């Protein structure tokens, strides 16, 4: 009887509900009437779950905001290294009839490589592919949007894409220091574009691309440590610079005619902009705004300072004076050498790397170059090739698992921690970077020389690149 009554009441209540007369209210009352304790807990649980989900989303959004903010600033800083940084640094080192031509060689990369990056280069460097090169999956930036990609989980893949673009711009621009004052503008454009495809894409993919042969963090077979581009940027550009300088021959009149820098002041400003921009280059390579970015930032600064001291001391001892050009050259050499090591070493190790790089690059530029007699006009090899190689080796020596446990928690990384094999891996990475650079650069130089011709005519070289290649002059003394 009792159950019958309950059933009737339920049906009645159900009808009321269906009619929608005070539905929610009554439904709540009936539930509470039946099992008040359990229902209350379920409700609190679901409210908590909602709260946790909202908190997680807020935390993720905050981290994205922080990381993305730093990565966008870093991308802008790295672009600042090209123009104005490198353009001023190199522009001041040439004779005044070539100042605009030299600056244009860097600026042209900012425009041309950017367009090609969007069309196909990004995909070849960072798209899914094999161990050596990426595929065509991301051509025309297909699939590169606001969602995070495989490389950086907290920033839009577009941020990662545009950040990496800035590296692809400055790398071929660095080579221009070797062929300064004598290459045709058309030949230079063709050379650098082909070089980016043949040398930069495979190197970037091997070291940083997903599944790349040398990628230490993403399953490479030969884990080579290169935090921000010691092999990808500096060894490739520096080695290619040496090959280009030898292939093209010396400038007219070298070394008999005096060819001093026309404005160390411009170079000075450029080098200081490079130093500041390098924080984006190295600390940005953490791909987030966390503690690793701080470690890389600090190592970068200490490395640059120590190398400026190292170069200046060597110069002071050997030549009796510490020059402004020497100090800034040393700082750049230190920044180059600390690039592969930045996110792996302690500040004290960074000072050692910087000191060694400053002294080593001084001897490469001052002694070794004049011994062999090649005309690496602005010392792209002596600074970037030599500094990059030394830095890559020393990264294998000083890398510290407390700074960056990239091989797994507690596993030793560098030689000083007891992992001697890492230096070997570094040497393999260096050998691969140098081989690709030598072979690729030689083939491209040969092709461009046979088709367009690499060098300007002797008359054009005497007139200077500003007038002969661009129809203008950097300094107009008449008006």
Partner 1 sequence: MQKIEAVIQPSKLDAVKDALVEIGVNGMTILEARGHGRQKGHTEVYRGREYSVDLLPKVKLELVVADEQVDEVVQAILTAARTGTIGDGKIFISKIDEAIRIRNDERGEIAL
Q: Are 249 and 242 in contact (CB under 8 A)?
A: no
3-state secondary structure of 420: coil
Between 28 and 255, name the residue whose CB sits nearer to partner 1: 255
DSSP type of residue 285: G
Is residue 319 close enough to count as binding partner 1 by CB under 8 A?
A: yes
Is residue 451 close enough to count as binding partner 1 by CB under 8 A?
A: no
Start-end of H helices in 94-183: 99-116, 122-126, 157-175
Q: Are 365 and 393 in contact (CB under 8 A)?
A: no
Is residue 346 close enough to count as binding partner 1 by CB under 8 A?
A: no
- The minimum distance between CB 337 and partner 1, in angstroms, equals 18
Q: Of these, 256, 321, 450, 479, which contacts partner 1 (CB under 8 A)? A: 321
Between 24 and 258, name the residue whose CB sits nearer to partner 1: 258
Residue of 51, 261, 46, 63 whose CA lies nearest to 153: 63
Residue count, binding to partner 1 (CB under 8 A): 16
Per-residue binding string, partner 1, 74-113, x by CB under 8 A, is ----------------------------------------
The C-alpha atoms of residue 28 and residue 22 are separated, in whole angstroms, by 10
Between 198 and 264, name the residue whose CB sits nearer to partner 1: 264
- The minimum distance between CB 109 and partner 1, in angstroms, equals 24
- From the list 97-105, 128-136, 360-368, 398-406, the region that binds partner 1 by CB under 8 A is 360-368
- From the list 183-191, 201-209, 317-325, 351-359, the region that binds partner 1 by CB under 8 A is 317-325
- The minimum distance between CB 320 and partner 1, in angstroms, equals 9
The C-alpha atoms of residue 87 and residue 269 are separated, in whole angstroms, by 10
Q: Of these, 72, 325, 424, 467, which contacts partner 1 (CB under 8 A)? A: 325
Is residue 366 close enough to count as binding partner 1 by CB under 8 A?
A: yes
Between 366 and 448, name the residue whose CB sits nearer to partner 1: 366
φ and ψ of 92, to 5 deg: -75, -25
Between 260 and 471, name the residue whose CB sits nearer to partner 1: 260
- From the list 119-127, 278-286, 295-303, 325-333, the region that binds partner 1 by CB under 8 A is 325-333
- Using alpha carbons only, how large is the chain's radius of gyration in Å? 29
Is residue 326 close enough to count as binding partner 1 by CB under 8 A?
A: yes
- The gap between the terminal CA atoms of the chain, to the nearest Å, is 114
SS3 content of the chain, % helix, strand, coil (to 5): 70, 0, 25
- The minimum distance between CB 164 and partner 1, in angstroms, equals 32
- The minimum distance between CB 379 and partner 1, in angstroms, equals 7
- The minimum distance between CB 366 and partner 1, in angstroms, equals 3
Q: Are 259 and 95 in contact (CB under 8 A)?
A: yes
φ and ψ of 411, to 5 deg: -80, 130
Per-residue binding string, partner 1, 120-139, x by CB under 8 A, is --------------------
What distance lies between CA 278 and its chain's CA centroid? 9
Q: Measuring CA to CA, how many Å separate 467 from each of 88, 292, 308, 454?
A: 19, 47, 35, 17
Is residue 367 close enough to count as binding partner 1 by CB under 8 A?
A: yes
Q: Are 277 and 85 in contact (CB under 8 A)?
A: yes
Q: Are 102 and 465 in contact (CB under 8 A)?
A: yes
DSSP type of residue 322: -
Footprint on residues 213-272 left by partner 1 (CB under 8 A): 255, 258, 260-261, 264
* Length of the chain counted residue by residue: 479
Between 177 and 303, name the residue whose CB sits nearer to partner 1: 177
Q: Of these, 365, 394, 403, 456, which contacts partner 1 (CB under 8 A)? A: 365
Q: Are 166 and 154 in contact (CB under 8 A)?
A: no
The C-alpha atoms of residue 469 and residue 454 are separated, in whole angstroms, by 13
Q: Are 344 and 403 in contact (CB under 8 A)?
A: yes
φ and ψ of 227, to 5 deg: -65, -50
- The minimum distance between CB 342 and partner 1, in angstroms, equals 26
3-state secondary structure of 215: strand
Q: Of these, 131, 158, 190, 323, which contacts partner 1 (CB under 8 A)? A: 323
Between 130 and 370, name the residue whose CB sits nearer to partner 1: 370
What's the sign of the alpha-carbon dihedral 71, 268, 393, 401?
negative
- The minimum distance between CB 468 and partner 1, in angstroms, equals 25
- From the list 73-81, 319-327, 410-418, 429-437, the region that binds partner 1 by CB under 8 A is 319-327
- The minimum distance between CB 321 and partner 1, in angstroms, equals 7
Is residue 370 close enough to count as binding partner 1 by CB under 8 A?
A: yes
Q: Which residues bind partner 1 (CB under 8 A)?
A: 255, 258, 260-261, 264, 319, 321, 323, 325-326, 329, 365-367, 370, 379
């Amino acid at each position: 009887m009792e159950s019958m009554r309950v059933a009737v009441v339920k049906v009645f209540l159900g009808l009321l509900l269906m009619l929608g007369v005070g539905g929610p209210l009554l439904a709540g009352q009936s539930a509470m009437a039946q099992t008040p304790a359990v229902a209350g807990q379920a409700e609190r649980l679901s409210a908590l779950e909602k709260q946790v989900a909202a908190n997680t989303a807020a935390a993720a959004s905050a981290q994205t905001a922080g990381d993305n903010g730093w990565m966008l600033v870093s991308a802008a800083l790295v672009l600042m290294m090209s123009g104005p940084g490198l353009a001023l640094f190199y522009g001041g080192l040439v004779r005044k009839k070539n100042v605009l031509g030299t600056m244009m060689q860097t600026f042209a990369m900012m425009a041309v490589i950017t367009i090609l990056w969007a069309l196909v280069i990004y995909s070849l460097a960072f798209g899914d592919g094999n161990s050596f090169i990426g595929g065509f999956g991301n051509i025309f930036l297909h699939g590169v949007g606001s969602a995070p990609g495989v490389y950086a989980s907290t920033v839009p893949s577009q941020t990662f894409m545009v950040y990496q673009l800035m590296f692809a711009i400055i790398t071929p621009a660095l080579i221009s220091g070797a062929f300064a004052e004598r290459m045709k503008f058309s030949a230079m454009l063709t050379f650098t574009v082909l070089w980016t495809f043949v040398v930069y894409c495979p190197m970037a993919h091997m070291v940083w691309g997903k599944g790349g042969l040398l990628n230490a963090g993403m399953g490479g077979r030969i884990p080579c440590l290169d935090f921000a581009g010691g092999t990808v940027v500096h060894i490739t550009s520096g080695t290619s610079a040496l090959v280009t300088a030898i292939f093209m021959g010396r400038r007219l009149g070298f070394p008999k005619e005096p060819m001093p820098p026309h404005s160390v002041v411009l170079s000075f400003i450029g080098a200081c902009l490079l130093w500041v921009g390098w924080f984006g280059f190295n600390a940005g390579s953490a791909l987030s705004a966390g503690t690793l970015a701080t470690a890389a930032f600090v190592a970068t600064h200490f490395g640059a300072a120590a190398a400026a001291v190292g170069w200046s001391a060597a110069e002071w001892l050997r030549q009796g004076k510490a020059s402004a050009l020497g100090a800034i050259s040393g700082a750049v050499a230190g920044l180059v050498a600390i690039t592969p090591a930045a996110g792996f070493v302690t500040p004290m190790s960074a000072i050692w790397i910087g000191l060694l790089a400053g002294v080593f690059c001084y001897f490469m530029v001052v002694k070794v170059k004049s011994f062999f007699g090649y005309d690496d006009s602005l010392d792209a090899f002596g600074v970037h090739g030599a500094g990059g190689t030394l830095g890559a080796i020393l990264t294998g020596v000083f890398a510290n698992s407390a700074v960056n446990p990239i091989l797994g928690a507690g596993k030793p990384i560098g030689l000083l921690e007891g992992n001697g094999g890492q230096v070997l891996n570094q040497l393999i990475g260096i050998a691969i970077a140098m081989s690709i650079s030598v072979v690729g650069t030689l083939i491209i130089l040969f092709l461009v020389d046979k088709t367009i011709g690499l060098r300007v005519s002797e008359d054009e070289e005497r007139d200077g690149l500003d007038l002969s290649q661009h129809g203008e002059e950097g300094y107009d003394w008449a008006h």
